[in-house]
């Protein structure tokens, strides 16, 4: 389960083979026009537009849909419910069975994840009321990044101030970076312990990570998901003094700047579109604003590839994932263009070809493998959850 402030995404998986039995999404919870979209495996989606007051009503509606497919939540075969939790701070380095103490700690982290952790908590509490007998497991977006050394995790600011307010780099999208770095090693036919991978998770939110032998050593998101790459609506890196300038000279409030940088910046701020398909269409038509937005996006991406190459020293693979990374061949081509000296290149035929699973797009015999590796955060959450529950008996 992936609970947002006004939405719940869910999947039901059979962990004997990882098969997806059903998936769906409840949107606009608490509004007058809520929507539930439920898709049983191999069958047509069903959509319902009806008011859904809160997360409890949402989960009950989901339970009804599942029951209609013969997959009731009361099934004795249901082994556990895994929840995506965005912020696990420094303490949660592994998936964790949820109890009162864990709930309290997730709650204590709300100041560093004010939008996400409260929604995740609501989802956990609601799922518990429906099946109090089942283990509920928290899988943290930050967990994979807790292996970062202090040199990468600390900002160079006064240590006492930073520690008093828990200001440090936590990183996000960890479930995806973990899954994709492992799947990339598998694609190369090698053990994760033996390979160094740069993962580029390019979706509407975007982050890069440097993974040495299966452990994350650096990632581009920081205290919050705002740092790093240019994203659909987030600025990524900039001089922090931009904020003081906008306050002092622009007369903007902290909340206004928060909204500006998280929701009205990045690709949408630069050219009015955040969908890479639309941006590429405009670029092809000669639209200059779209072309500049694309160039800024690629420039930042290249800087991170170079930085993480230097951090790792030796790179075995560069993996592209998420909506943009998996689909936008123009982004992949532009991101590695000119990096031949680093052993990085794409074969234009392989890069342009459509494909389903993980695949190589670098030329035969390339020093560094370049790959497209579709992410599957839900499968990773379910896999980690099931492994923990199975271990605990």
User: Does 332 belong to an annotated binding site?
Assistant: no
Q: Which of 327, 347, 358, 366 binds ligand AMP (CB under 6 A)?
A: 327
Tallying the residues shown for the chain, one arrives at 393
Q: Does 271 bind ligand AMP (CB under 6 A)?
A: no
State the CB neighbour count (10 A cutoff) for residue 319: 26
Using CB under 6 A as the binding criterion, the count of chain residues that bind ligand AMP stands at 12
168 backbone φψ class: left, alpha, beta (φ>0; ψ -120 to 50): beta
Name which of 245 and 281 has its Cβ closer to ligand AMP. Answer: 281
Helices (H) then strands (E): counts for the chain: 15, 14
**Do the beta carbons of residue 229 and residue 202 sit within 8 Å?**
yes
Q: Which of 69, 258, 275, 287 binds ligand AMP (CB under 6 A)?
A: 275
Q: Does 230 bind ligand AMP (CB under 6 A)?
A: no
Point out the catalytic residue in the list 141, 273, 316, 376. Answer: 141
CB of 205 to ligand AMP, least distance (A): 6
Alpha carbons within 13 A on the beta-carbon side of 322: 22
User: Does 26 belong to an annotated binding site?
Assistant: no
Name which of 3 and 176 has its Cβ closer to ligand AMP. Answer: 176
User: Does 84 belong to an annotated binding site?
Assistant: yes
**Do the beta carbons of residue 124 and residue 138 sit within 8 Å?**
yes
- Nearest by Cα to 271 from 242, 303, 233, 240: 233
- The Cα 205–Cα 218 span in angstroms is 17
CB of 38 to ligand AMP, least distance (A): 19
Q: Does 228 bind ligand AMP (CB under 6 A)?
A: no
Question: Is 194 a residue of the active site?
Answer: no
User: Does 223 belong to an annotated binding site?
Assistant: no
Q: Which of 236, 269, 323, 374 binds ligand AMP (CB under 6 A)?
A: 323
| Radius of gyration, CA atoms only, the chain | 21
- Nearest by Cα to 376 from 322, 320, 317: 322
CB of 229 to ligand AMP, least distance (A): 12
Q: Contact region for ligand AMP (CB under 6 A) — 3-11, 56-64, 221-229, 268-276?
A: 268-276
Q: In whole angstroms, how far apart are CA 340 and each of 220, 345, 347?
A: 23, 6, 12
User: Does 392 belong to an annotated binding site?
Assistant: no
Q: Which of 223, 312, 322, 373 binds ligand AMP (CB under 6 A)?
A: 322
Token representation of residue 300 = 């930042």
CB of 323 to ligand AMP, least distance (A): 2
Q: In whole angstroms, how far apart are CA 277 and each of 204, 234, 324?
A: 12, 18, 9
Q: Does 270 bind ligand AMP (CB under 6 A)?
A: no
- The Cα 15–Cα 386 span in angstroms is 7
Q: Which of 192, 232, 266, 374 binds ligand AMP (CB under 6 A)?
A: 232
User: Does 196 belong to an annotated binding site?
Assistant: no
- Nearest by Cα to 120 from 140, 101, 100: 140
State the CB neighbour count (10 A cutoff) for residue 237: 15
C-alpha 6, offset from chain centre: 18
Q: Does 4 bind ligand AMP (CB under 6 A)?
A: no
- The Cα 52–Cα 59 span in angstroms is 10
Per-residue contact track with ligand AMP, 148 to 167, x per CB under 6 A? --------------------
Q: Which of 12, 36, 143, 328 binds ligand AMP (CB under 6 A)?
A: 328
Q: Which of 43, 191, 277, 314 binds ligand AMP (CB under 6 A)?
A: 277
Q: Contact region for ligand AMP (CB under 6 A) — 14-22, 34-42, 76-84, 318-326?
A: 318-326
- Nearest by Cα to 5 from 57, 50, 55, 48: 55
CB of 72 to ligand AMP, least distance (A): 30
Interface residues with ligand AMP (CB under 6 A)? Answer: 203-204, 232, 274-277, 322-324, 327-328
Binding site per annotation, positions for Mg(2+): 2, 377
Catalytic residue ranges:
141
């Amino acid at each position: 389960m992936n609970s947002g402030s006004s939405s719940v995404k869910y999947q039901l998986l059979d962990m004997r083979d990882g098969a997806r039995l059903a998936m769906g999404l409840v949107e606009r919870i608490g509004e007058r026009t809520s929507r539930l979209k439920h898709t049983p495996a191999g069958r047509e989606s069903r959509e319902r537009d009806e008011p859904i007051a809160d997360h409890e009503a949402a989960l009950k509606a989901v339970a009804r849909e599942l029951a209609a497919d013969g997959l009731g939540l009361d099934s004795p075969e249901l082994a556990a419910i895994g929840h995506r939790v965005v912020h696990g701070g420094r303490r949660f380095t592994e998936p964790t069975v949820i109890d009162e103490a864990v709930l309290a700690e997730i709650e204590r982290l709300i100041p560093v994840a004010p939008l996400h952790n409260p929604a995740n908590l609501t989802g956990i509490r609601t799922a518990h009321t429906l099946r109090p007998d089942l283990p509920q497991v928290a899988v943290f977006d930050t967990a994979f990044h807790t292996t970062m050394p202090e040199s990468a995790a600390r900002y160079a600011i006064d240590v006492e101030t930073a520690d008093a307010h828990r200001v440090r780099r936590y990183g996000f999208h960890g479930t995806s970076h973990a899954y994709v770095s492992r799947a990339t090693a598998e694609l190369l036919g090698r053990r994760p312990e033996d390979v160094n991978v740069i993962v580029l998770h390019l979706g509407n939110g975007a982050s890069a990570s440097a993974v040495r032998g299966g452990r994350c050593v650096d990632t581009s998101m920081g205290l919050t998901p705002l740092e790093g790459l240019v994203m659909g609506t987030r600025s990524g890196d900039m001089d922090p003094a931009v904020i003081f300038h906008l306050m002092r000279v622009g007369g903007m409030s902290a909340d206004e700047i928060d909204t500006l940088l998280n929701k009205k910046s990045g690709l949408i701020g630069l050219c009015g579109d955040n969908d890479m398909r639309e941006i590429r269409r405009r670029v092809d038509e000669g639209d200059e604003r779209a072309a500049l937005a694309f160039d800024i996006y690629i420039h930042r991406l290249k800087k991170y590839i170079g930085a993480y190459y230097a951090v790792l020293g030796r790179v075995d693979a560069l993996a592209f994932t998420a909506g943009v990374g998996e689909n936008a061949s123009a982004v992949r081509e532009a991101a590695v263009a000119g990096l031949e000296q680093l052993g990085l290149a794409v074969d234009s035929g392989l890069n342009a070809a459509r494909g389903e699973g993980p695949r190589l797009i670098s030329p035969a015999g390339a020093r560094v493998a370049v790959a497209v590796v579709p992410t599957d955060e839900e499968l990773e959450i379910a896999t980690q959850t099931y492994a923990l529950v199975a271990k605990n008996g």
